[in-house]
Amino acid sequence: MTDVHVDTAQARFAVRAVGNPGGPVVVALHGFADHPATFDALGRHLAAHGYVTVAPYLRGHAPSPLDGGPSLSAHAADLHALVDELSPDRPVLLIGHGEGAWVVHQALGRGMKAHKVVALGAAGPDVVQHLMRRDPRVAWSMRHVLLPRMGSWGRRRILGSDAQAITALWDRWSPGYRPQTEHMERIAATFRSSGSGPLGLLDLASAEPGSAVARESTLCLMGENDAAVPPHLLPGRHSMLTGRRSTLSGAHMRVLPGVGHFPHLEAPEVTFDAITQWFAQP
C-alpha cells in the first residue's frame, strides 16, 4: 500500500491505499497501538478482487492532523467525511479492528451508510467496560483504556514508549503471537510523533448508544484466544460490535480457533477469505 493524502470537509488525512480506481471502496480503521500498515496484506488481497482499500491514519496519529481534540465522536465525523469524499455515490464497505470498530459503530449511529461491515477483535465500548468489571484478567489486559484518566506518568508509560513496550501490549492481547519488529517500530515512531493524540481512540466517555445498522450487514471475526475481548465472556452475540444498547441484535459472528486479537495478521488466509466472501454477498 502507498501513503497518499485525502482532502475532506473535516481535514486533510494521510492514508495508505491500494487498488484500481473505480472499484468498490473499502475503508479500514486501525485500533489503538496500531498503524494503518496493519492492513497492507489485506489491502493487496482485496485489490486482487477488484476493491480499492483505504486505511487512514486516524486523527491524532501523525501525519494526519493532531489537533481537534481527538475523541470517538471526532473520529466518527472524520470517517463520515472520508466516506463522503472517497465514495459519494454508493455505500462503502467498512472494516474496523479493535477501537477502530468503535469508530465505525459511532459513525453508523450518526447515519453514515455502509453496504457491509466487518469488525475484527472488537466489542462495543460499554461491553468492554462490562468485561473489565466482570473479569480481572480482562481488566489487566485492557488497562490501557484507562490511560485518558491517568496523569502524565501513566501516559508516558505507553505513548512515549519504544517498540519493545508496544510489543508487550500486543503480547497481552495475543498470547503466543510474535508480530514483525518492523511493524512495532512503525507504531512506536507514530506514538513518538503524535503526543497524546492516540488517546482519542480510548475516549469511552464520548461513546454513544448503538447504531441501527441492520444485523445482516455485519460480520464479526473474533479470535478464540483474544485476551482483550474474550469471546466466551461476552454477554451476548449482539455485543461484538455495537454493545448491549444497540439495535444490532445478532450480528454474524465467527470465532477463529488458535487466534488472538489480530485475526488479519495471525490467520490471514482464513480471515481474508471470510472478508472477501462477506463483501461479495448482495
Helix axes 40-48 and 268-280, enclosed angle (nearest 10)? 50
Alpha carbons 253 and 119: distance in angstroms, whole number = 9
Q: Fold for 2-280, please state it.
A: Rossmann fold (3.40.50)
* Rounded-to-integer distance, Cα 120 and Cα 223, Å: 9
Cβ atoms of 82 and 54 within 8 Å: the answer is yes
The grid cell for 77 is 465525523
Compute the mean pLDDT over every residue in the chain, rounded to the nearest whole number. 84
pLDDT digits (tens, 9 = 90+) for 210-240: 554 445 688 989 999 998 888 877 755 444 4
Per-residue pLDDT reduced to its tens digit, 93-112: 999 999 999 899 888 888 88
Cβ burial, residue 247 (10 Å; 0-12/13-18/19+)? middle
Which pLDDT belongs to residue 205? 66
Contacts of 228 (CB under 8 A, 6+ apart): 98, 121, 138, 141, 142, 172, 173, 261
CA atoms lying within 13 Å on the CB side of residue 119: 33
Q: DSSP readout, 111-173? A: T--EEEEEEES---HHHHHHHHHH-HHHHHHTGGGGGGGS-HHHHHHHHT--HHHHHHHHHHH
HSE at residue 180, side-chain half, CA atoms within 13 A, is 10
Categorize the per-residue pLDDT at 32 as very low, low, confident or very high, splitting at 50, 70 and 90. Answer: very high
Question: Which of the four pLDDT bands, split at 50, 70 and 90, describes residue 160?
Answer: low
Domain ranges of the chain: 2-280
| Res 154 pLDDT > 70 | no
